[in-house]
């Protein structure tokens, strides 16, 4: 020991004393301000940035070597735009490590520090040249940044501001009014940290004043981070919540590399407003410990309440004590209870399931969950609705996906399927749903006796939706339309939902088509459908209460429309449609019967007679075809063609879909009558065309027969039939007149 003191310690102390004396002399006699131009030029040559040093530069040598600058700023690389600036900036380096060519920062102090960091669309940043990121040597090898050991005695920042702009994400983040005071900052060393700041961003919307006090331990090489005595408070707006007041207290310790975690006495509480509703959230985690050999924890409780003028939503999650190890842990039955009361309706959900998982595999599993659902809504035709859903779910955090299988029976329907998330951010959903039978109208709100103002379409949920899936329904009734073997494929992305294909059997025929919905400022819908071999009478009656047409055949529709309500979309429909029917009838009017009844009046009647349509009357046809050009919700037709044993039908006019009204002229021409069908009366009217005007609403149409037009047509037909006889009589009369004029 004496030898060590004699030959090592004493010489070392002597060297330190001598160096200290030299440093004191230099600090007392050396003026660094004479060298500012050389420093500025050196920075320019090294970084292609402009350094400005305003005011005095002071050097310190004891207890560490450093510099204090009154004002300093640094430009962007290659231009004069300011990148960073500070006032009263003091940076000190530990002296002894410098002897070994190591840069160890001892202290950082600054007032009004400001900096702007920019990430370009190609992923590069405006600080890459300072950090060494992406730099290469002449040989093409990556150049490591200068070795700087993180061991700082303290950091003190007052009123700092840092801006980060991400051009690739189109986002901007700002930290303002940043005040930082720390103790020693070094790998693995606990340090007291006090931070206060204002944080703002546009994606997501954020404006929060926050303060954090804790003893912080961080060790990046070992991926070890800890907050002891955490005390966090925040106020402002974040995640769609305004008037936010958030607090968090407790201890958190995470060793990422070894997947070890310790949470103790963690309590998080928050209040605020979300979409006009008062929000209250509280989370308690008394103790949760996960190591390589053991996983243990006490009951975790999450309570959330949302209250607004229309009702209240209460959510409570309880996870009981867990036990096991990193490979497999488990807990007794966890419970999730949801109680919603909204506009006179009440919904209650209670889910229970054993919980299992693996920290090593980063998985959580609800192997066998049971969810009881009760919906009580006086506005529903079927009330109350209750169902029990069973199934299983797995969340794979490592692969960022989740999956679930489920089955339930409610009312007369059996439902099963699966759903999942193929990625968490942004979320992408998948699903497959199978239903044996479903009467959806039983679960639609009843129509009020007093007509309520039509509500605008709210498709905001589609804007962030990414999903793909399928639905299979054996028997379906929706909006009073009945179908079987329904098959639907759905894709959603970028605010657009495509339902393609849509296939079903309905009304003795088949349906094949597609539908798309765009969640724009003014929603847009596109419908393409082909119906083959369909019995159109019952279909039109059930779908739109249009009970005027019978027959079986094909119908095609290709339309699009836009609007903020269903009525507005119907009034803005554009596109085309076509139908071709056989063995049908136009209900409400018997044209042949009307002609027979009016035959004896042809000589006397001059005008029209309007009558209400009678569902007991109809005009049969063997063939009927028409095409429609649809503009602004009005379907125009000009090529009606129909055939029956007694008549030939033509016509033109409009069908106002938006206002559910008719304005159509049918022209029925009498043809040769087969025995026993038209009778003698119609046989005598061969070639006569009868104009029939159809008007009124879909539910109460009216028709008017133009008897004067019928009489004119009959006269014309009579002239055509007796053309030669009339021609001869006219010629005789002309000859008689000529003879008189010539005196013969």
Return the SS3 of 570.
helix
Please state the separation of Cα 313 from the chain's center in Å: 22
Location of structure tokens 């819908």: 525
Location of structure tokens 């800890």: 226
Number of domains in the chain: 1
Q: In 183-201, which positions are buried (b, 16+ CB within 10 angstroms) versus exposed (e)? A: bebbeeeebebebebebbb
Location of structure tokens 């497959």: 432
Report pLDDT for 742. 39
Return the SS3 of 150.
coil
What is the domain range of residue 616?
573-744
Report pLDDT for 546. 76
Judging by DSSP bridges, how do beta strands 322-324 and 329-342 pair with one another? Answer: antiparallel
The answer to whether position 391 is within a domain reads no
3-state helix, strand, coil in the chain (%, to 5): 15, 60, 25
Report pLDDT for 734. 42
Sign of CA dihedral 9, 12, 17, 23: negative
The answer to whether position 600 is within a domain reads yes
Helix axis angle, 707-721 relative to 591-598, nearest 10°?
80
The answer to whether position 638 is within a domain reads yes
The answer to whether position 100 is within a domain reads no
The answer to whether position 201 is within a domain reads no
Q: Where are the alpha helices (DSSP H) in 193-288?
A: none
User: What is the rounded CA–CA span in Å between residue 625 and residue 638?
Assistant: 11
User: What is the rounded CA–CA span in Å between residue 454 and residue 733?
Assistant: 73
What is the total residue count of the chain? 744
Cα angle at 251 between 291 and 325, to 5 degrees? 15
- Residues in the chain with pLDDT < 70? 1-30, 61-63, 96-103, 132-150, 446-452, 591-616, 672-685, 706-744
The answer to whether position 686 is within a domain reads yes
Ramachandran angles phi, psi of 34, nearest 5°: -70, -20
The overall pTM is greater than 0.75: no
Return the SS3 of 688.
coil
């Amino acid at each position: 020991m004496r030898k060590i003191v004699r030959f090592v310690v004493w010489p070392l102390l002597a060297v330190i004393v001598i160096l200290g004396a030299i440093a004191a002399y230099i600090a007392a006699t050396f003026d660094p301000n004479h060298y500012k131009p050389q420093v500025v030029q050196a920075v320019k040559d090294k970084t292609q940035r402009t350094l400005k040093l305003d005011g005095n530069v002071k050097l310190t040598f004891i207890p560490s070597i450093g510099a204090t600058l009154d004002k300093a700023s640094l430009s962007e690389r290659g231009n004069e735009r300011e990148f960073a600036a500070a006032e009263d900036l003091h940076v000190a380096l530990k002296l002894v490590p410098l002897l070994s060519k190591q840069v160890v920062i001892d202290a950082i102090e600054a007032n009004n520090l400001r900096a702007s960091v920019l990430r370009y669309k190609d992923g590069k940043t405006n600080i890459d040249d300072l950090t060494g990121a992406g730099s290469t040597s002449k040989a093409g090898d990556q150049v490591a940044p200068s070795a700087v050991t993180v061991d700082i005695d303290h950091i003190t920042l007052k009123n700092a501001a840092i801006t980060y702009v991400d051009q690739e994400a189109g986002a901007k983040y700002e930290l303002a009014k940043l005040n930082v005071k720390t103790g020693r900052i070094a790998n693995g060393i606990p340090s007291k940290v006090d931070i206060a700041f204002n944080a703002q961003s546009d994606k997501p919307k954020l404006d929060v004043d926050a303060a954090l006090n804790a003893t912080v331990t961080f060790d990046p090489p070992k991926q070890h981070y800890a907050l002891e005595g955490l005390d966090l408070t925040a106020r402002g707006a974040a995640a769609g919540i305004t008037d936010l007041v958030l607090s968090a207290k407790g201890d958190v310790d995470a060793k990422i590399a070894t997947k070890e975690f310790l949470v103790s006495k963690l309590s998080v509480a928050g209040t605020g407003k979300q979409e006009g509703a008062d929000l209250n959230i509280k989370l308690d985690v008394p103790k949760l410990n996960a190591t390589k050999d053991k996983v243990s924890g006490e009951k975790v409780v999450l309570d959330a309440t949302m209250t607004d003028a229309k009702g209240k939503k209460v959510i409570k999650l309880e996870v009981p004590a867990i036990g096991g190890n990193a490979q497999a842990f488990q807990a007794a039955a966890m419970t999730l209870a949801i109680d919603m009361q909204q506009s006179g309706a009440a919904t209650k959900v209670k889910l229970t399931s054993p919980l299992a998982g693996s920290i090593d595999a980063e998985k959580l599993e609800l192997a066998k969950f049971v969810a009881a659902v009760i919906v009580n809504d006086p506005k529903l035709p079927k009330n109350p609705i209750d169902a029990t859903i069973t199934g299983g779910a797995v969340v794979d955090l490592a692969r960022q996906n989740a999956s679930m299988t489920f089955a339930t029976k409610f009312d007369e329907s059996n439902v099963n399927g699966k759903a999942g998330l193929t990625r968490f951010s942004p979320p992408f959903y998948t699903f497959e749903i199978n239903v044996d039978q479903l009467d959806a109208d039983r679960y639609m709100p009843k129509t009020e006796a007093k007509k309520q103002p039509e509500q605008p379409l709210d498709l905001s949920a589609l804007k962030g939706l990414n999903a793909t899936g399928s639905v299979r329904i054996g028997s379906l009734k929706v909006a009073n339309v009945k179908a079987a073997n329904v098959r639907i494929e759905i894709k959603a992305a970028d605010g657009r939902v495509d339902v393609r294909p849509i296939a079903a059997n309905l009304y003795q025929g088949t349906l094949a088509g597609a539908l798309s919905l765009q969640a724009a400022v003014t929603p847009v819908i596109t419908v393409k459908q082909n119906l083959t071999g369909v019995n159109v009478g019952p279909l039109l009656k059930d779908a739109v209460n249009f009970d005027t047409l019978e027959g079986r055949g094909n119908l095609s529709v290709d339309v699009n429309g836009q609007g903020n309500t269903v009525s507005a979309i119907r009034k803005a429909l554009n596109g085309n449609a076509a139908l071709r029917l056989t063995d049908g009838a136009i209900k409400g009017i018997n044209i042949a019967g009307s002609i027979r009844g009016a035959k004896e009046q042809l000589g006397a009647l001059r005008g029209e007679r309007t009558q209400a349509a009678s569902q007991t009357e109809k005009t049969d046809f063997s063939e009927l075809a028409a095409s429609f050009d649809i503009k602004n919700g009005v379907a125009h037709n000009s090529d009606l063609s129909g055939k029956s044993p007694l008549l030939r039908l033509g016509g033109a006019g409009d069908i106002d879909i938006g206002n559910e009204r008719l304005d159509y002229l049918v022209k029925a021409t009498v043809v040769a009558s087969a025995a026993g069908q038209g009778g003698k009366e119609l046989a005598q009217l061969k070639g006569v065309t009868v104009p029939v005007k159809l008007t009124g609403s879909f539910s109460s149409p009216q028709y008017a027969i133009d008897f004067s037009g019928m009489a004119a047509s009959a006269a014309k037909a009579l002239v055509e039939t007796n053309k030669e006889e009339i021609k001869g009589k006219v010629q005789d009369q002309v000859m008689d007149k000529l003879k008189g004029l010539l005196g013969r």
